[in-house]
Amino acid sequence: MTNGSNPPYKRILLKLSGEALRSPGSMDNISPEIVARIAGEIADAHRQGGLEIALVVGGGNFWRGAKASVRGMDRATADYVGMLATVMNALALQSAIERAGVPCIVQSAIEMKNVAEPFIRLKARNDLADGKIVIFAAGTGNPFFSTDTTAALRASEINAEIVMKATSVDGVYDADPKKVPDATRFDTITYQECLRRELKVMDSTAFTLCMDNKKPIIVFDMHTPNNITRALLGERIGTIISQEH
């Protein structure tokens, strides 16, 4: 395991799935117990490594704009509803992270003065340098963009060294491991190989942003206990996607 006092990355953008905040099979959109576990792991890494951690969380536990548009809702309106869902998740995480003993700020791309600060790039960078965790909510503030794209964009804006995508699978495979039992997992892979193989790591806009701005991507399983802490502190888990092996 990497020494927590000397992690390889100082400033990290961690992307979390909104659906990971709910218990499987539960009617509750947010599980306070799961949120507390995730917040605790982030706080542990923050304390151990002296890291600067920014978060982007999806809204899929409440709403998926693309699915709603297929069912007849105007796509832009559906996406704005989804952006509001990410704000709810961000506030839940903020509360849990602060209970875990780390100051946390929510910046929203859609102005809502009573619950979150507006997104201001330089303030976010200063807050990170001051030891606060910053959560970027409400997507990019524009419809038709995913929270993966938000993660790639904000990572570039704050000069994060890496994008870490916490998912329900333990890395990138050459086929869907849920459908192909003998699918092979990559420890490392290049951006170009991902494109050549048409591997769906992120949507194309997000992936291109990371590739063009030379932001490595780590994909790992967030459901294994302590994996978030381990990934943030630099332990080699999951799959790393970069310019070269």
For residue 65, say whether it is annotated as part of any ligand binding site.
no
For residue 15, say whether it is annotated as part of any ligand binding site.
yes
For residue 60, say whether it is annotated as part of any ligand binding site.
yes
- CA 190 to each of CA 96, 198, 213: distance values in angstroms, whole numbers, following the listed order: 35, 12, 14
For residue 205, say whether it is annotated as part of any ligand binding site.
no
For residue 148, say whether it is annotated as part of any ligand binding site.
no
For residue 220, say whether it is annotated as part of any ligand binding site.
no
> β-pairing, 188-190 with 239-242?
parallel
The maximal CA–CA distance of the chain, rounded, in angstroms, is: 52
For residue 142, say whether it is annotated as part of any ligand binding site.
yes
Angle at 132 between CA 205 and CA 40, to 5 degrees: 85
Tell me whether residue 72 is exposed, middle or buried, using C-beta atoms within 10 angstroms of its C-beta: 0 to 12, 13 to 18, 19 or more: exposed
For residue 58, say whether it is annotated as part of any ligand binding site.
no
For residue 72, say whether it is annotated as part of any ligand binding site.
no
For residue 147, say whether it is annotated as part of any ligand binding site.
yes
Contact status, residue 231 vs residue 50, Cβ threshold 8 Å? no
For residue 79, say whether it is annotated as part of any ligand binding site.
yes
For residue 143, say whether it is annotated as part of any ligand binding site.
yes
For residue 186, say whether it is annotated as part of any ligand binding site.
no
Cα separation of 187 and 51, whole Å? 24
Contact status, residue 222 vs residue 166, Cβ threshold 8 Å? yes
For residue 74, say whether it is annotated as part of any ligand binding site.
no
Residue 52, H or E segment: strand 52-57
For residue 214, say whether it is annotated as part of any ligand binding site.
no
For residue 167, say whether it is annotated as part of any ligand binding site.
yes
Binding-site entries: 15-18, 59-60, 64, 79, 140-147, 167, 173, 176
Binding-site entries for UMP: 59, 79, 140-147
Binding-site entries for ATP: 15-18, 60, 64, 167, 173, 176
